[in-house]
Amino acid sequence: MIQIDENQIDRFAELLPTLPSLKPFDFCGADEGVLFPPKAHPGALNAFFFNAAHQFGFWFLQDNHYTRPMITQAGGVYRKGSDFLFYCTQRALKSDPDFFRPERLAALRPREIDRLFHDDHRRNPLPMWPEHKRILYEYADWFVEQATTPDLLVAKANHTRKPLKFFLDALREIPGYREDPLQKKSMLLAVILENRPERFLRVSDPESAVPIIDYHLQRSALRTGLVTLTDEKLRSRLVARACVDKETENAIRRATYQAMEKLVAKSGLSVAAIDYFFFTNRTRCPEMTEPACASCPVNAICKQDTPLFQPVFRTTHY
């Protein structure tokens, strides 16, 4: 019913390493100081730990159908989900370098929490705000109860033989990260910390990396033909952007995970580089407008099954 296409994976594994701009993102770059903390900012590590746990749910649901992605104006610019979250995190960090220390988060007053994600109209636009609020408190309380900090956790990981494996295993305990068996947010955080200019996480075991499967990657896997469907009813539900059940979402997400694992192994590229390709590809292959296939670097090998859409399913995993 839902399977990976080995031949298509081979085609992508051959093409992707030849693309010139395929290197991991450093989560700083041109957006330094606006979306991301400047290099060596003392609050950066705590801010990224907080931020990655909240990278989920940036879209709206109505009558059991996907309606639109979350886009709002902040700092005079229209920003989509993940960019909005980074903008808000950086804004809070500018006002207080200690804002994201777990004990500071645990002591936040309800008014301060509401303000954290205000847009230019003083509204909090996050479609899953109750879930974000719950994770914020559970995450902060966990660190306080365990008498540990993000710095200590990363330092411990860097002193092991397999820092990435230690780090991913440690995140299996932390609210905001522990809920997802496929560890999307955990691996995203590891990629950020490894690739930031500070090189917070010193990965010497890249073989411990896991694919980062979120909604745009599932959409790309289906449209490109890396993952295929044989069930016409399911195809119709995806094309109609109607909600699917947990089992269906799980099957598509696991197939995408498997396809990405194989793509990493066959291409020799890192999880971070492949993730960056598909992350940047989301603007060419978007949710609400026709994909720009003519200018897409995988145009020649892509199945271009553009009506397909990611499984519509509410989760805090991605």
Nearest to 148 by CA among 104, 198, 102, 108: 102
Q: What are φ and ψ of residue 80, in 5° steps?
A: -90, 160
Size of the site for ligand SF4 (CB under 6 A): 15
Plot region of 194 (φ>0 → left; ψ -120 to 50 → alpha; else → beta): alpha
Rounded CA separation 84/125 (Å): 10
- Tell me which of 224, 248, 270, 315 binds ligand SF4, using CB under 6 A: 224
To ligand SF4, the closest distance from the beta carbon of 268 in angstroms equals 21
**Does 15 sit near ligand SF4 (CB under 6 A)?**
no
Q: Which is nearer to ligand SF4, 171 or 285 (CB)?
A: 285
Cβ closer to ligand SF4: 28 or 221? 221
In one-letter notation, the amino acid at residue 23 is: K
Name the minimum Å distance from CB 289 to ligand SF4.
Answer: 11
Q: How far is the CB of 124 from ligand SF4 (least distance, A)?
A: 32
Single out the residue of 245, 223, 217, 228 nearest to residue 315, CA to CA.
245
- Least Å from the CB of residue 308 to ligand SF4: 9
Task: Assess 124 for contact with ligand SF4 (CB under 6 A).
Answer: no
Q: Is 304 in the site for ligand SF4 (CB under 6 A)?
A: yes
Q: Say whether residue 279 binds ligand SF4 (CB under 6 A).
A: no
Select from 116, 111, 64 the least CA-distant residue to 85.
116
Task: Provide φ and ψ at 89, rounded to 5°.
Answer: -65, -45
Q: Which residues bind ligand SF4 (CB under 6 A)?
A: 220, 223-224, 281, 284-285, 291-293, 296, 298-299, 302, 304, 306
